[in-house]
Chains A and B, each alone.
Chain A
Amino acid sequence: MISIDGVSQTFKGKSGPVEAIRDISLTIGEGEFLTVIGRSGCGKSTLLRMVAGLLKPTKGEVRVAGEVVREPRRDVAMVFQKPALLPWRSVEDNIMLPVEIFGRRKADHRAQVDRLLETTGLTAFRKRLPHELSGGMQQRVSLCRALIQNPKVMLMDEPFSALDALTREELAVELQRIHMDLGTTIVFVTHSIQEAVLLADRVAVLSSRPGQVRRLVEIPIPRPRSFGHNAHMDQVAGVSAELHSLLLSDTHLPKTSTL
């Protein structure tokens, strides 16, 4: 579905060039859930923005559904770290925004909005304005707004990182269900190992700047997965530990190499 082919990104910063991403190649299959994990500043958002067509790679190219990405595509939906809701629009009008922008008929999408509100438990809040909602609810609205696009691919940049731990888990479980229902291809950036293990088919561990793929870790745990007690706790603990050591050992690498 997505192929990232030798992609690099170097920003021209004020104090010289910043190499954010170096030579990343990845193939993401149709319906796959890939999480990208890495330390802060390693270029995760940059990578995602290149896949979204918001940023042109300095080298290499990204293909979605076989076509080279040169600009954003309407079958690729983004979910950002902040909910990015329009404060003057009610919940349902915010969800309708992509429909309006795409010039489609709102009437054709009413039923889908109802369904999305239902699955995310927002039905009672459909007329509310964003500032009347909790952070978790706002992020649910933002998720609905992405889903109304009926995207082939969803790109999610730390969508739950501003939420408290319990809400995060709740939303992660919800997202897993949505993914199982719809089979959308999802690239999900996070720096939570727990989240990565719950959600991913594969985890791409990025190294510190410049971001490179340090390891691709398969998560062969059957779905639906859950936090807390379950039948696969040993496996979960195993992969979590592996991811942990991959991320931790990384800190020392650049230091020792520059000494």
Chain B
Amino acid sequence: MTDFDAGSRTSRVWTNVGLPILGVIITVTGWWAITAAFHIDPFYVPSPADVVDTFLRTPEFLLQETWTTLQRVLIGFAIAVALGLVIAVTLAASRTVERMAMPILAAINAVPKVALAPLLLVWMGFGDSPKIVMVVLVSFFPVIVSTMAGLTSTPDDLQELTRSLKASWWQTFVKVRLTWALPQVFVGLKVATPLAIIGAVIGEVVNPDRGLGSVIAGSGASNDTPLAFAALVLLAVTGVVLFYLVAGIERLLVPWRVAK
């Protein structure tokens, strides 16, 4: 961004709020125009109006399901982040552990998670826990990889500095490496946020009880495509909100990076 007037307040509001909103408006209008122009059957692709109608038929129900899914996403994401950070720090602390654990972690990550869903059903039955586990499984790996990348990216000059000060491993870790890794950690968190939602939906579609994934699974059975779209839109909105939430936290915690 090299706008000359990027500093003025109105133009900043415009770029940060106005442009994204304009993008949404253009997209929705385009969607509408296409469904209208080609007379597409709402059974295949409903128009935005159909989706809104569907939502307004049962708003409490859909919002309730959204909340259920969101809770699973948040709990699972929190566990994934905590687990990912702990694992990454352990791996970064010891070369030996890293060598031993990395192939296993990569293998776990490479397993198609959908294939695990029936197993989770067997192990944990219905309810929240298999969905939360799915969220964790899908979203922990990017956190590990990005945190490790951050922890090993300490520049040479800072390493020489701490060595020349005879800082202990722990001091170097806490005062330099960890904070230096934060921007990278947030890259991982931003990748993991949408994955967490995908994880919850996989869990709910394969093993439906409640939540937006179950709504989508149910709408397939009852041929209610607009309902499925309403659920998808709600998922998308949830994803966007979570993403900007993470970005906002990043702004708070990593001001030196964002300012650049």
Contact = CB atoms under 8 A, between A and B. Distances in A.
A84 B157 contact: yes
B257 to A, nearest CB: 8
A97 interface: yes
Interface in B126-179: 155, 157-158, 160-167, 171, 175-176, 179
A102 B164 CA distance: 12
A13 B56 CA distance: 71
B164 A100 contact: no
B175 A101 contact: yes
A52 B161 CA distance: 11
Nearest to B182: A88
A121 interface: no
Interface in A78-134: 78, 80-82, 84, 86-88, 97-98, 100-102, 129-131
Q: Is the interface of A mostly helix, strand, loop or mixed?
A: loop
Q: Which of A52, A54, A80, A87 has the most CB of B within 10 A?
A: A87
A183 interface: no
A30 interface: no
Contact of A98 (B165, B179, B255, B259): B165
Contacts of B180: 86
A75 to B, nearest CB: 11
Contact of A86 (B158, B160, B164): B158
Contacts of B99: none
A71 interface: yes
B175 A72 contact: no
Interface residues of B, number: 22
B173 to A, nearest CB: 12
Nearest to B165: A101
Given A74-B166, A97-B175, A101-B175, A87 B160 contact: no
Contacts of B167: 101
B157 A129 contact: no
Nearest to B253: A88
Contacts of B164: 52-54, 72, 76-78
A57 B259 CA distance: 42
A84 B179 contact: no
A86 B176 contact: yes
A82 B156 CA distance: 10
Contacts of B260: 131
B45 to A, nearest CB: 48
Interface in A11-58: 52-54
Given A86-B176, A100-B175, A72 B158 contact: no
A254 to B, nearest CB: 29
B165 A74 contact: yes
Contacts of A82: 157
B256 interface: yes
A52 to B, nearest CB: 6
B158 A84 contact: yes
A80 B161 contact: yes
Contacts of B255: 88, 129
Contacts of A78: 160-161, 164
Interface string B228-259: 00000000000000000000000000111101
B151 to A, nearest CB: 15
A52 B160 CA distance: 10
Contact of B166 (A72, A97, A129, A130): A72
Contact of A80 (B160, B176, B254): B160
A131 B256 contact: yes
B157 A72 contact: no
Nearest to A73: B166
Given A97-B175, A100-B175, A129-B256, A80 B157 contact: yes
Contact of A84 (B161, B166, B171, B259): B161
A82 B259 CA distance: 20
Nearest to A103: B171
Given A84-B157, A86-B180, A87-B257, 13 more contacts: A52-B164, A54-B160, A72-B165, A78-B164, A80-B157, A86-B175, A88-B179, A88-B254, A97-B175, A100-B175, A101-B165, A101-B166, A131-B260
Interface of B: 155, 157-158, 160-167, 171, 175-176, 179-180, 254-257, 259-260
